[in-house]
C-alpha cells in the first residue's frame, strides 16, 4: 500500500491529472469512478489504483473487472487517494488509460456519415457533454479544430460518462483541409449560424452530413463558417438569440437521428 504523497507514482498521477503536456507525452489519460472503471476497454487499461476503503468494500468488483487482464490494482491509503483525485467526493478507483488516435476516415464514418465539426470549443464540461450526446445521437465521429479544449482534461472525461472510449475523435491540424476532404467525399456541410435562412428541421439530414459548431462565446469563426455548404438556424422564441454550444449541437444531432430513423 502507498501511504505517502511523496511517492513517485503518486507524483506522476498528480502530474498527469494537472498537465496536458504530461498526458500527451505518455499518450494516456486518467479516469475516475466505478462506471468509468467498468467500461474501460481492457486493451487500453494500463494501470488501476484504488483507495484502501474502496478495496475493502469492492474488492470483488475490482477482481471481476480485471479478470483476464494483466493489470493488478495498486492500493493507496485514503489520504493519498484523496490527494490524487480530481473530485470533491472521490469514489475510490482511478485508472490510467491509453489514448486512442483515430484517422480522419474513421471519424468521417463512411456512407452514413453524421459528423460534428467543433471550432474552438473551450469549455471542458461542454466538450464532454457534446461527446456523450454525440454517441447517443448516433454521430459517426467528431472532428475538432486544433484550438479546441483538450478532450482528456479530467472534467471533460467525467462529463463524457464513458463515451470517450467509443466516440471517434479527430483533431485536425488544418480544419479547412478536413472540411475539403468531407466535401470531396460527398458530405454536405451545415453551419449553425444566426444568418441561416433554412431551419434545421427543413434540411435533408438523411444524407451524409456534418454540422459546424462554434466557440461558446463568439460562435464560428468567419473563415470556418464560410466553408459550409448551407447555413441553418434553430428558430428561437422570446428574446433568446442562440443556444449554448452543447445544446445547439444536441438539437442538430438528434434531428438528423430522427430523420434517419424515419427513412
String of DSSP letters for 156-191: HHHHHTTGGGTS-EEEES-HHHHHHHHHHTT-EEEE
* Confidence check: pLDDT of 34 > 90: yes
* Confidence check: pLDDT of 21 > 90: yes
Task: Map out the domains of the chain as residue ranges.
Answer: 8-98, 104-261
* Confidence check: pLDDT of 243 > 90: no
Beta carbons within 10 angstroms of residue 62's beta carbon: 21
Name every residue whose Cβ is closer than 8 Å to that of residue 58 and which is 6 or more positions away in sequence: 34, 50, 92, 93
Give the Cα separation of 127 and 118 in Å (integer): 9
* Tens of pLDDT, residues 44-62: 999 999 999 999 999 999 9
* Confidence check: pLDDT of 101 > 90: yes
pTM score over 0.85: yes
pLDDT-derived band at 109, boundaries 50, 70, 90: confident
What CATH number labels 8-98? 3.30.1330.30
* Confidence check: pLDDT of 85 > 90: yes
Q: How far is the CA of 244 from the CAs of 22, 131, 255, in angstroms?
A: 31, 15, 17
* Confidence check: pLDDT of 195 > 90: no
**How, if at all, do strands 45-51 and 93-98 pair?**
antiparallel
CATH 3.30.210.10 matches 104-261: no
Q: How far is the CA of 182 from the CAs of 58, 107, 113, 131, 227, in angstroms?
A: 47, 11, 9, 20, 11
Name every residue whose Cβ is closer than 8 Å to that of residue 27 and which is 6 or more positions away in sequence: 98, 99
SS3 151: coil
* Tens of pLDDT, residues 206-242: 999 999 999 988 889 999 999 999 999 999 899 888 7
Main-chain phi, psi angles of 126, to 5 degrees: -60, -45
Give the Cα separation of 59 and 221 in Å (integer): 50
Mean per-residue pLDDT for 140-159?
Answer: 96
Mean pLDDT estimate for the chain: 95
Do the domains at 8-98 and 104-261 have one common CATH topology? no
Amino acid at each position: 500500500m502507498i501511504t505517502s504523497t511523496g511517492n513517485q507514482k503518486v507524483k506522476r498521477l498528480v502530474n498527469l491529472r494537472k498537465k496536458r503536456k504530461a498526458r500527451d507525452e505518455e499518450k494516456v489519460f486518467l479516469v475516475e469512478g466505478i462506471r468509468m472503471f467498468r467500461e474501460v476497454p481492457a486493451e487500453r487499461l494500463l494501470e488501476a489504483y484504488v483507495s484502501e476503503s474502496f478495496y475493502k468494500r469492492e474488492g470483488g468488483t475490482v477482481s471481476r473487472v480485471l479478470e483476464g487482464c494483466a493489470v493488478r490494482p495498486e492500493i493507496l491509503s485514503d489520504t493519498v487517494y484523496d490527494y490524487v483525485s480530481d473530485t470533491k467526493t472521490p469514489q475510490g478507483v482511478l485508472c490510467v488509460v491509453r489514448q486512442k488516435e483515430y484517422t480522419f476516415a474513421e471519424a468521417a464514418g463512411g456512407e452514413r456519415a453524421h459528423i460534428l465539426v467543433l471550432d474552438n470549443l473551450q469549455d471542458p464540461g461542454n466538450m464532454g457533454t457534446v461527446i456523450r450526446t454525440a454517441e447517443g445521437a448516433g454521430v459517426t465521429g467528431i472532428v475538432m479544430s486544433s484550438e479546441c479544449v483538450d478532450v482528456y482534461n479530467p472534467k471533460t472525461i467525467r462529463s463524457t460518462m464513458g463515451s470517450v472510449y467509443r466516440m471517434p475523435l479527430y483533431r485536425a491540424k488544418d480544419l479547412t483541409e478536413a472540411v475539403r476532404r468531407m466535401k470531396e467525399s460527398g458530405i454536405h456541410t451545415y453551419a449553425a449560424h444566426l444568418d441561416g435562412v433554412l431551419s434545421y428541421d427543413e434540411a435533408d439530414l438523411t444524407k451524409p452530413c456534418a454540422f459546424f459548431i462554434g466557440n461558446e462565446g463568439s460562435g464560428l469563426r468567419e473563415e470556418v463558417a464560410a466553408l459550409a455548404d448551407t447555413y441553418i438556424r434553430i428558430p428561437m422564441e422570446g428574446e433568446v438569440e442562440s443556444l449554448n454550444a452543447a445544446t445547439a449541437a444536441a438539437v442538430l444531432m438528434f434531428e438528423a437521428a430522427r430523420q434517419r430513423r424515419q427513412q
